[in-house]
Amino acid sequence: MKTKRTSLIVAACCALFALPACKRKQPDNISIVQPGAAERPEMVSSGIGAKFAVPAGQVAVFEVVTRRGGATVALPTLVAYVVAPQREAVTGTFRFFPESEMTGPEVRRRAWRIEQRSGAGNESVGGLSLPEALEPTVGRLLLNLDLEPGKEVIRWNRGDDNALPDDGLVGLRVTLSAHEQKEGGSGVGHADWKKSPTTTQP
């Protein structure tokens, strides 16, 4: 009885004075989730974030693009793709964002990351390069994409997509085309699936 009473007294003292020796060890697998991430997994503070649904039997290629010499061109390696199986559409999110939020004159080049999550697979690659001259034009572009079979969609972070400059800007181009695979899949770093679809944006 004395031992039990002593234990109760020690426990009460620990609770009252918050003694370090009495603190429980916290689990090692604690993860910090950005507020709102569960509701909006495409959210980015800067860069490009998009929700999408790839129709069944289609491949969607996601390319970060810019304007150069009056044309829209892809930025090498800033690309990912999702393959939807023949009988099922695939929903997911695409994110392109800086690995560090530090900005200022002392920060010359930031590393960027592409992250893609969908029912066809999850892909993420970091340490990617964006031309220094384009960094100020990235801003934040949040999209809810309506993708149609065999078509291409281009979105820019500006109000008027019909009056584009000859050079500069950063946007997202998504190209859809049919495939003959039975299973779905995904990947980053190349656009092997791309074909020549009908463009729905200039």
Q: What is the mean pLDDT of residues 149-157?
A: 94
Say which amino acid occupies 75.
L
Tokens of 6: 């002593």
pLDDT of 193: 59
pTM: 0.74
When comparing pLDDT for 106 and 173, which is higher?
A: 173
Taking phi over 0 as left and psi of -120 to 50 as alpha, with beta for the rest, 104 belongs to left
Band of pLDDT at residue 29, cut at 50, 70 and 90: very low
Q: Write down the pLDDT at residue 45.
A: 83
Give the span between the Cα atoms of 65 and 141, in whole angstroms: 13
Classify 102 as helix, strand or coil.
coil
Q: Is the dihedral of CA 174, 123, 93, 90 positive or negative?
A: positive
Decide if pLDDT at 152 tops 70: yes
β-bridge partners, 143: 50
Mean pLDDT, residues 163-179: 92
Q: What is the pLDDT of residues 74-130, one digit of tens each?
A: 998 999 999 999 999 999 999 999 987 655 555 567 899 999 999 999 989 999 999
Confidence grade of residue 64 (pLDDT, cut at 50, 70, 90): very high
Identity of the amino acid at 200: T
CA pair distance 19, 27, nearest whole angstrom? 19
Nearest to 143 by CA among 44, 33, 75, 38: 44
Over the chain, what is the mean pLDDT? 78
Higher per-residue pLDDT: 49 or 17 = 49
